[in-house]
A and B are shown apart, each in its own frame.
Chain A
C-alpha cells in the first residue's frame, strides 16, 4: 500500500525550526511518525537533542540536528547551506510578549518582529533563492489568531508581528507558485506550551481564559501538528496562500 496514502510523508525531506520546544517539537514527532526525514532546528542544543532522540526512525529515514539562532544572519546562511533540497519546511520559532499599547515602544516591536517576522521571511527567502525548496515543496508558517482573527488587550506587539506574517504568506504563495511551491500558515488559538506560561498572566487568569473557549480546553500541540502534516502532504497539493485557524472555536 506504500505510496498510495496521500497523507503519508514517506520519502519527504522536511526542515522544522523551533523544534526544540512546544508545537515545533510535536510537529517533528508527528512528521517522523508519518515517515519523513527531518532536519530539526532550534537554539538550545540539549532540548533539540532530546527532540532528535524522541523521533521515530522508519526505514530509509534520516534525521539531522542543526543549531541556529535565526536572528543571526550568519547562522541562517549556515543553515541554508547545510540542508539538501527540501520537500517541506515548517517555521515554528517564535516569541511572545504581553504589553499594553501605551508601553509598546519601538524597541519592543523591533525585538519581537526580529524573531516572529523578519527571521521567518528571511529564512524562506534564502531557501527559495538558493533553490533549496524543490518543485512542489510545501512551506508552513506558524502564525496565530492574534492580530487578525482575534484582538485581545495587551497583544499589539505579538499580534501585529503575526498579522505581518500572515500577509507575507500570501505574497510568497503567489510568487513561489511558479515552481509549484505552496505556502500556507496555521493560526492557532492558545496551545499548551512554555510560550503561554511566561508568568505575565497568572495561571488562574489562564484558566479563566480557557473556559471561554467553546471546546472548553486550550489546544494540544498535536492539534496543530496534524494540520502541519496535512499541509506538507500530497493531499494538500492544491492548497496555497491560506491561513488555517485551529482554535477550539474561540474566534467564533
Chain B
C-alpha cells in the first residue's frame, strides 16, 4: 500500500478542496470542507479500496492523512 495513492484516494472525497491542499501532513479536521458526510465517504473509500473497516473513532482520533494511512496499513 502506497502513501501517494492513499492521499489521492483521500483527496477524491472532497468536492471543493483542491487535491494540492491535501498532503501527508494535512490535519484533515481543519479543512473547511471537512464534515460528517466526508468522514463517511472516507470510511466507505477505505472499505472499498483496502477492505479495512474504520470506525468513526478512528477518524476522530487520527489527525493527519498520514496517521490514517498508518492506521489502515496496520490493519491490512
Residues of A whose CB lies within 8 Å of any CB of B are 98-100, 102-103, 153-154, 199-202, 204-205
The answer to whether A201 touches B56 (Cβ under 8 A) is: yes
B36 in contact (CB, < 8 A): yes
A78 to chain B, nearest CB (A): 32
The answer to whether B56 touches A154 (Cβ under 8 A) is: no
B39 to chain A, nearest CB (A): 8
Q: How far is the CA of A202 from the CA of B43 in the complex (A)?
A: 12
The answer to whether B48 touches A103 (Cβ under 8 A) is: yes
The answer to whether A201 touches B41 (Cβ under 8 A) is: no
The answer to whether B36 touches A200 (Cβ under 8 A) is: no
Question: If the complex has contacts A103-B48, A205-B56, are A200 and B43 also in contact, measured as CB distance less than 8 A?
Answer: yes
Chain B interface residue bracket vs A: 10 to 19
Residue of chain A at shortest CB distance from B43: A200
A109 to chain B, nearest CB (A): 14
B29 to chain A, nearest CB (A): 13
Interface class of chain A by DSSP: loop
A227 to chain B, nearest CB (A): 30
The answer to whether A201 touches B36 (Cβ under 8 A) is: yes
Q: How far is the CA of A195 from the CA of B41 in the complex (A)?
A: 20
Report how many A-B pairs have Cβ atoms within 8 Å: 37
Interface class of chain B by DSSP: helix
The 7 closest A-B pairs by CB, nearest first: A103-B44, A202-B56, A199-B55, A201-B56, A154-B40, A153-B37, A100-B41
The answer to whether B40 touches A199 (Cβ under 8 A) is: no
Sample 18 A-B pairs with CB under 8 A, ordered by A number.
A99-B44, A100-B40, A100-B41, A100-B44, A102-B41, A103-B45, A103-B48, A154-B40, A199-B55, A199-B57, A200-B43, A200-B56, A201-B36, A201-B56, A202-B56, A202-B57, A205-B36, A205-B56
Question: If the complex has contacts A201-B36, A205-B36, are A103 and B56 also in contact, measured as CB distance less than 8 A?
Answer: no
Within 8 A of A (CB), among B15-72: 36-37, 40-41, 43-45, 47-48, 55-57, 59-60
B38 to chain A, nearest CB (A): 9
